[in-house]
């Protein structure tokens, strides 16, 4: 069950809090996979409530080989589901693990460090480039954007959301589109609102 007791580390920080991570000796295994419920607050001022709801998050280790930036969608490592993430979502057919904590600074979560990923509740997620395909109205379902790579350090396309056309998917593709929805838009966006932080009601878990 999600816990609202004291978290092992706060949102907006990582487990190592900027200290050098020794990849040969990684502490923190007891933290991995812990699920906590936080109050939904404004990333720019955590004393302000963004909504009157809660946000559910999982503590995971970044083993992607790159720093994972905030507000981007990530995937679990196949042999460490629920505990480690190894890159950005790169297609809507993937099951997304969650969204890298939108309270983190721009540098994000370094490789081998531990951070929160948001799996339920309001969270800022960065929109697609160069287009979000379709305009998104409030309550429209959104999905991960297809990108060339999930772990390239220069990757600007991976881990972003896009609005897919329901009519464009049939058969197995339609099942994936419905099953792998990351949530619903809480802020309307036009098709040219690219590379913008958008409040999404995340429903991954």
Q: Tell me how many domains the chain contains.
A: 1
Binning pLDDT at 50, 70 and 90, where does residue 20 land? Answer: confident
Domain that holds residue 104: 35-203
Residue 5 in any domain: the answer is no
DSSP 3-state of 173:
helix
Binning pLDDT at 50, 70 and 90, where does residue 100 land? Answer: very high
Q: What pLDDT does residue 157 have?
A: 79
Residue 26 in any domain: the answer is no
Residue 1 in any domain: the answer is no
Minimum mean pLDDT range among 60-74, 142-156, 189-203: 142-156
Residue 25 in any domain: the answer is no
Residue 106 in any domain: the answer is yes
145 or 150, which is more confident? 145
Percent of the chain with pLDDT over 90: 52
Q: Which two tokens stand for residue 191?
A: 């098709």
Residue 2 in any domain: the answer is no
Residue 30 in any domain: the answer is no
Average pLDDT score over the chain: 86
Binning pLDDT at 50, 70 and 90, where does residue 4 land? Answer: low
pTM of the model: 0.89
Tell me: the pLDDT tens digits for 149-197?
666 655 577 899 888 766 555 666 666 666 678 999 999 998 888 888 9
Q: What pLDDT does residue 163 have?
A: 85
Residue 58 in any domain: the answer is yes
Whether the pLDDT of residue 70 is over 60: the answer is yes
Q: How far apart are CA 183 and CA 140, in angstroms?
A: 8
Handedness of CA 38, 205, 159, 151 (dihedral sign): positive
Q: How far apart are CA 145 and CA 132, in angstroms?
A: 8
Say which residue the tokens 């297609």 belong to. 91
Q: What is the DSSP letter of 154?
A: T
């Amino acid at each position: 069950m999600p816990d609202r007791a004291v978290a092992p580390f706060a949102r907006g920080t990582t487990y190592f809090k900027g200290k050098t991570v020794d990849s040969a000796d990684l502490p923190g295994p007891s933290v991995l996979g812990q699920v906590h419920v936080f109050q939904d607050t404004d990333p720019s001022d955590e004393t302000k409530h963004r909504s009157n709801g809660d946000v559910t998050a999982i503590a995971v280790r970044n083993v992607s080989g790159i720093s994972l930036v905030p507000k981007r969608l990530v995937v679990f490592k196949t042999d460490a589901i629920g505990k480690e993430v190894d890159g950005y979502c790169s297609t809507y057919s993937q099951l997304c693990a969650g969204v890298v904590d939108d309270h983190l600074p721009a540098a994000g979560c370094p490789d081998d460090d531990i951070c929160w990923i948001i799996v339920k509740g309001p969270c800022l997620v960065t929109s697609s480039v160069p287009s979000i395909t379709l305009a998104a109205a409030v309550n429209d379902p959104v999905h991960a954007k297809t990108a060339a790579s999930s772990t390239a350090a220069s990757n600007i396309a991976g881990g972003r959301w896009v609005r897919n056309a329901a009519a464009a998917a049939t058969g197995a593709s339609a099942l994936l589109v419905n099953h792998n929805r990351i949530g619903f838009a809480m802020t309307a966006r036009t098709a040219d609102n690219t590379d913008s932080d958008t409040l999404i009601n995340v429903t991954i878990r």
